[in-house]
A and B are shown apart, each in its own frame.
Chain A
Amino acid sequence: MHIVVCIKQVPDSAQIRVHPVTNTIMRQGVPAIVNPYDLFALEEALRLKDQFGGRVTMLCMGPPQAEDSLRKCISFGATDAVLVTDRAFAGADTLATSYALAAAIRKIGQEQAVDLVFTGKQTIDGDTAQVGPGIAKRLGLNLLTYVSRIVEVDLDARRLKVERRAEGGVQLLDTTLPSLITMLEGTNEMRFASLDDMLRAGRFPVRRWNKDDAGIEDVSKIGLKGSPTIVSKVFGPTPRTEKADMQVVADSNPQDVTLNLLQKIFTTHPQIEAELVERLSA
């Protein structure tokens, strides 16, 4: 079984700070990590490899330093890693990104046919959830998003059964290989890296592909040129014109402050008090 897992290297968003005056992102010192949602995809792929044997090929598009993230995945047990990196990809939106990744997957498939492609549900920096569906459509793969459980894989019949999260329940879907799965978070727990795999990761020759290696045929479909969306403005949030009614506990005491607060809320918004009383009396 040959599985391709797509990952993205992202800044650890918990540690991003915005400059208070210029409203720009302060990138210095923000560590780069494997997009956390992608690890659920990787773990699921590794479990299938444990069960059926075969290969797990990691794929990432990004700057040269994204190699670190691929190495991390090798340390968990992935077989191979390809970094698609080229200045021509810069400024890509989700449509241009899915074009480049689809081309690279087609190329990887020439070495050994691909049975399954995995992605995370979404990234934590872009939060769009669009690249997975984009890759599936470009490669003509059956698209299975928000998969919460892989119920059954029958390699001989080339069939696949999954549970997919929907509003108010899960869909049980049956389809054929090859498919693309975007894995829901919290569906599995990432394994620990073995010492052997950690050592292997350290010296692993991550393959670096430029746009030609990745089999990009139409350069007008990658990077800024291949991106229909344009960021016209980036800005910080605007404060409300009316400032909050502030009380400081240190200037008074918690009892007075809270009593004061209750009185203010219920005087200004008597309907909130009325509804609370009504609901709690019922």
Chain B
Amino acid sequence: MSEAAKPAVPAAPRAAGRAGRNTELPEHLKSYKHVWVFVEHDRGHVNPVSWELMGEARKLADKLQVQVAGVILGGPDEPLDAYAKEAYAYGADRCYVMRDPVLKGYRNEPFTKGLTDLVNTHQPEIMLLGASAMGRDLAGSVATTLGTGLTADCTELNIDGRALAATRPTFGGSLLCTIMTLAYRPQMATVRPRVMQLPRRDDTRTGDIVEMPLGMVETDIVTKLLDFIPDANRNTVNLAYADVIIAGGKGLKNADNFKMVWDLARVLGAEVGATRAVVQAGWAEAERQVGQTGKTVRPKLYIAAGISGAIQHRVGMESSDVIVAINTDPNAPIFDFAHYGIVGNAMQVLPVLTQAFRTHLDKRIRKVA
């Protein structure tokens, strides 16, 4: 085992600030400019998280008065130019494109080299990636190769001074913290799908393409992608994009009571969500978990039954249009950010609420018919 390839830029003399912290940006990194978004795509589709990030990148770049660029790596037979056009529509001014047969289908090795080379050549100050299986794999690898700071799963991005202030939950989701990378570039961050809002698309926007070769051949790459096996139950649980979600927490006491959440969901044609504790207890499947370590959702209506509202859960659902909370504890944190609160036992309220919705909606549907 040997030390991985060193970054092309020589390591700067350490600028240790107060208490050994790295606070001074060395001279040779001051020329790093512009905000980049890694455009994640696979088998013909761009992951919407890339466009959500493009909207954030636009806001950051406008504050810094710099440009936004999309980074697109893929095979020569993939529609990379179409992705670039979409990137402009969502806010990019430029796209850096690498086309190579070895970049078809994500693999860590060629993507790490490609993105690292692009960064070293074109020197962005900020780089954003989706916190997906691909984005996290790539971000961790590129940040280590470049020796720069990476903040995972941010829930808010801002500019403080001239640096990126990235806010994320910490301590298992009980507090928030703001993290900055002051003495290194680029400043890297990942954001989970649906945390940021999809920006309005403007197809009149245009931009330019800068191409760069990867400089790798298939025989250079150890890991081979033999096959892709699509999920059989694809889209059966589409929590992230659901319009109505009924979620249950540990306040429901047991798996049997959790079925009341399903009863209400059926009446409303809604999806079922759950807290981390509920998933760990086995009352609901892992793909139904809402929160920092589960899915982030933005439904029009979110009904939380027996959920206290720890940050872990809150960051996954607080962007919902209307939040209804049912909890026995009038001081539960969820009432700090719910729109409608019912102080009461969820086991008692849920069946009554289900019946009320059923009666009301039946009446309305009959009227429509």
State whether A249 touches B344 (Cβ < 8 A): yes
User: Is A51 an interface residue, CB under 8 A from the partner?
Assistant: no
State whether B175 touches A173 (Cβ < 8 A): no
B364–chain A nearest beta-carbon distance, Å: 5
A80–chain B nearest beta-carbon distance, Å: 19
Q: Beyond A95-B143, A128-B152, is A13–B170 a contact (Cβ under 8 Å)?
A: no
Prevailing SS type, chain B contact patch = mixed
A215-253 interface code vs B (CB 8 A; 1 in, 0 out): 000001001110111111111110110111111111000
Inside 8 A of A141's CB, which chain B residues have their CB? Answer: 1
State whether B179 touches A229 (Cβ < 8 A): yes
User: Is B208 an interface residue, CB under 8 A from the partner?
Assistant: no
User: Is A18 an interface residue, CB under 8 A from the partner?
Assistant: yes
Inside 8 A of B241's CB, which chain A residues have their CB? Answer: none
Q: Beyond A14-B277, A168-B234, A174-B224, is A245–B172 a contact (Cβ under 8 Å)?
A: no
User: Is A65 an interface residue, CB under 8 A from the partner?
Assistant: no
Which of A41-49, A188-196, A260-268 touches B? A260-268
B61-105 interface code vs A (CB 8 A; 1 in, 0 out): 000000000000000000000000000000000000000000001
Q: Beyond A25-B171, A257-B344, is A171–B228 a contact (Cβ under 8 Å)?
A: yes
Q: In the complex the two chains form, what is the Cα distance from A215 to B160 in whole Å?
A: 38
Report, as a range, how many residues of chain A touch the other chain. 35 or more
User: Is A120 an interface residue, CB under 8 A from the partner?
Assistant: no
User: Is A258 an interface residue, CB under 8 A from the partner?
Assistant: yes
User: Is A154 an interface residue, CB under 8 A from the partner?
Assistant: no
B181–chain A nearest beta-carbon distance, Å: 5
Which of A53-61, A71-79, A132-140, A204-212 touches B? A132-140
Question: Per a CB cutoff under 8 Å, which of B139, B222, B300 touches A275?
Answer: B300
Inside 8 A of A232's CB, which chain B residues have their CB? Answer: 160, 165, 178-180
State whether A280 touches B231 (Cβ < 8 A): no
State whether A170 touches B229 (Cβ < 8 A): yes
Question: Per a CB cutoff under 8 Å, which of B139, B182, B183, B339 touches A245?
Answer: B339
A203–chain B nearest beta-carbon distance, Å: 32
Q: Beyond A133-B144, A166-B42, A231-B178, is A258–B353 a contact (Cβ under 8 Å)?
A: yes
User: Is B151 an interface residue, CB under 8 A from the partner?
Assistant: yes
Q: In the complex the two chains form, what is the Cα distance from A148 to B144 in whole Å?
A: 24
State whether A163 touches B340 (Cβ < 8 A): no
Interface Cβ pair total, 8 Å cutoff: 317
Inside 8 A of A28's CB, which chain B residues have their CB? Answer: none
User: Is A11 an interface residue, CB under 8 A from the partner?
Assistant: yes
Q: In the complex the two chains form, what is the Cα distance from A273 to B367 in whole Å?
A: 13
Inside 8 A of A233's CB, which chain B residues have their CB? Answer: 177-178
Inside 8 A of A134's CB, which chain B residues have their CB? Answer: 140-141, 143-144
State whether A127 touches B153 (Cβ < 8 A): yes
Inside 8 A of A136's CB, which chain B residues have their CB? Answer: 141
Q: In the complex the two chains form, what is the Cα distance from A186 to B280 in whole Å?
A: 10
Question: Per a CB cutoff under 8 Å, which of A138, A163, A240, A276 touches B337?
Answer: A240
Residue of B nearest to A227 (CB): B22
Prevailing SS type, chain A contact patch = mixed
Inside 8 A of B215's CB, which chain A residues have their CB? Answer: none
State whether B224 touches A175 (Cβ < 8 A): yes
User: Is A64 an interface residue, CB under 8 A from the partner?
Assistant: no
71-115 of chain A: CB within 8 A of chain B: 93-95, 98, 105-106, 109, 114
Q: Beyond A227-B22, A235-B175, A272-B322, is A248–B344 a contact (Cβ under 8 Å)?
A: yes
Q: In the complex the two chains form, what is the Cα distance from A128 to B292 in whole Å?
A: 11
1-24 of chain B: CB within 8 A of chain A: 1-4, 14, 16, 19-23
Inside 8 A of B107's CB, which chain A residues have their CB? Answer: 173
State whether B365 touches A277 (Cβ < 8 A): yes
Which of B197-205, B252-260, B328-336 touches A? B328-336
- List, sorted by A's number, 29 A–B pairs whose CB atoms are closer than 8 Å: A13-B174, A17-B174, A109-B1, A126-B152, A127-B292, A130-B150, A139-B2, A145-B136, A163-B229, A165-B133, A168-B42, A168-B231, A171-B225, A171-B227, A185-B286, A228-B147, A230-B22, A231-B177, A234-B175, A237-B333, A244-B338, A249-B344, A254-B353, A269-B322, A272-B300, A276-B269, A277-B361, A279-B269, A280-B269
| A residues at B contact (CB < 8 Å) | 10-11, 13-14, 16-18, 23, 25, 93-95, 98, 105-106, 109, 114, 122, 124-134, 136-146, 161, 163-176, 178, 185-186, 220, 223-225, 227-237, 239-240, 242-250, 254-255, 257-259, 261-262, 264-266, 269, 271-273, 275-277, 279-281
